[in-house]
Amino acid sequence: MRKGSQRRGGLRFLSSAIAIAVVLPLIVAFHWSRLGWRDGHVNYPSRPSGYTQIVNRFGQPCNAEARAISMRWRAADNGVMYWFSFHRKLGGRPTAMVSDKGGRSTNLDNDVYGHIQNAHLQPYIKHGIYGYACRAKRNSNEWSTHAFGIAIDVSSAEEYMGKCTSTVNKYHASIWQNHGWYWGLAFCDPMHFQYATNY
Amino acid sequence: MKRRQAIVVGLVVGVTASVGVIAGAAGRAPARLPNGRSVGPMVPADTGAGELLLAVVGGVFSSRQEAEAANAALAFGDLQGYYVVPVAQFQGFRQEVGEPGEFALVSAFRTDEGARAFAELAAMLGIEATILPERVRSLGGLYAGLGQEASPDGTGPLLGPVAESLP
């Protein structure tokens, strides 16, 4: 009797182990590219340095092009879907995963977003995600890069301004950097990625 | 002698012709800059004195210190959120808010779109933002964020009055 229940327990353990061994590799091996995503790298603008180059490349702060393209991104921790806008030159070009939004490049909504999904880094996108905002920098009267639609803040509550280390954005920062974005960790603003330097 | 006269005449004719060509070209020069009129890297400290403005309010406090402390705690990230201003610098503000207090967290706008965009940003960040139902008259005073909204023509920030803001 005891031997029979031991055998049943052993069989159950074995079948669970086999199920895990079969399913786990399938989950891990799944990549977003299987859904048709490809890194486009099409028509990226060169990254400006300083205010004058930003204006020459992206126009005046708060101009209509700065908020021409929108996308949504779900935060992994609270499940909230964030809508935000950004510059027409930084995305909105049609791809297998992005509908035609009238944009010029594949940078943000296809390439950066797709890389993060493909590499299973979505769990490190926490709440507080925003892009274009016609505002000045905090405690300053200088226009923020957000006013040009060339800055995105990600995981803003967790990666707050003034924190000089990163706990979640560090997992995907290299993807942004490989697509022309400058990470604000250099000036203790780890939530912030901007498509410009020296400003 | 004749040669010298010919050189002088030639120079006069040449210079006159050049001036004429330059003046003609200047008359036809495009008035619009390719990236819109330059606004400079600084947000102008415009108070909109005398204008009727839309106020987005984040709270009213009895003292400046309390208001400053509350403002510093708000999670606007790297963006400038509210400005601490005396309630008395907007005519009609006190009646519309209906709360006691001398200092308020405010951001002022000239257009509905500007006020709504800011209120949505605040709400998305979990920050209180109430757009006062009626416009209030600015009496000048401290800067309250005016100019940080898009111009309806799409060229850049709105840096002057619109029809709705004029008394």
Q: Report the domain count for chain B.
A: 2
Percent of residues, chain B, with pLDDT higher than 70: 89
Q: Are residues B69 and B20 in the same domain?
A: no
Rounded distance, CA A59 to CA A65, Å? 8
Q: Are residues B89 and B151 in the same domain?
A: yes
Residue A183 lies in a domain: yes
- What residues pair up with A130 in beta bridges, in sequence order? A153
User: Where do runs of H (alpha helix) occur along A59-162?
Assistant: 113-118
Whether residues B79 and A136 touch (CB distance < 8 A) is answered with yes
The residue behind tokens 């609270």 is: A78
Query: Which pLDDT band, with edges at 50, 70 and 90, does A87 fall under?
Result: very high
| Nearest CB neighbour to A133, from listed B39, B121, B155 | B121
Position B19 pLDDT exceeds 80: no
Q: Are residues A123 and A173 in the same domain?
A: yes
Q: Are residues B60 and B6 in the same domain?
A: no
Q: Are residues B57 and B131 in the same domain?
A: yes
* Domain interval for residue B149: 52-165
- Which token pair is A187? 């000036």
Is the CB of residue A65 less than 8 Å from the CB of residue A87? yes
Interacting residues of A16 by C-beta distance below 8 A, sequence separation 6+? none
A5 vs B: CB within 8 A: no
| Residue B145: closest CA among B98, B97, B76 | B76
CA angle B110, A66, A97 (to 5 degrees): 135
What pLDDT is attached to residue A4? 64
Number of other residues whose CB lies within 10 A of the CB of residue A193: 28
Query: Which pLDDT band, with edges at 50, 70 and 90, does B14 fall under?
Result: confident
B47 vs A: CB within 8 A: no
Closest residue on chain B to A81 (Cα) = B124
Closest residue on chain A to B114 (Cα) = A134
Residue A199 lies in a domain: no
Residue B35 lies in a domain: no
- What residues pair up with B108 in beta bridges, in sequence order? B55
pLDDT tens-digit readout, A127-178: 999 999 999 999 999 999 999 999 999 999 999 999 999 999 999 999 999 9
| Nearest CB neighbour to A61, from listed B79, B114, B157 | B157
| Nearest CB neighbour to A138, from listed B35, B45, B78 | B78
- What residues pair up with B85 in beta bridges, in sequence order? B104
Q: Are residues B156 and B74 in the same domain?
A: yes
Q: Are residues A25 and A43 in the same domain?
A: no
A73 vs B: CB within 8 A: no
Reported as type and span, the H/E element at residue A19 is helix A2-29
pLDDT tens-digit readout, A74-83: 999 999 999 9
pLDDT tens-digit readout, B142-162: 999 999 999 999 999 999 999
Q: Are residues B76 and B113 in the same domain?
A: yes
**pTM of the entire predicted model:** 0.84
A146 vs B: CB within 8 A: yes
Closest residue on chain A to B46 (Cα) = A141
The 3-state DSSP class for residue A128 equals coil
Is the CB of residue A60 less than 8 Å from the CB of residue B156? yes
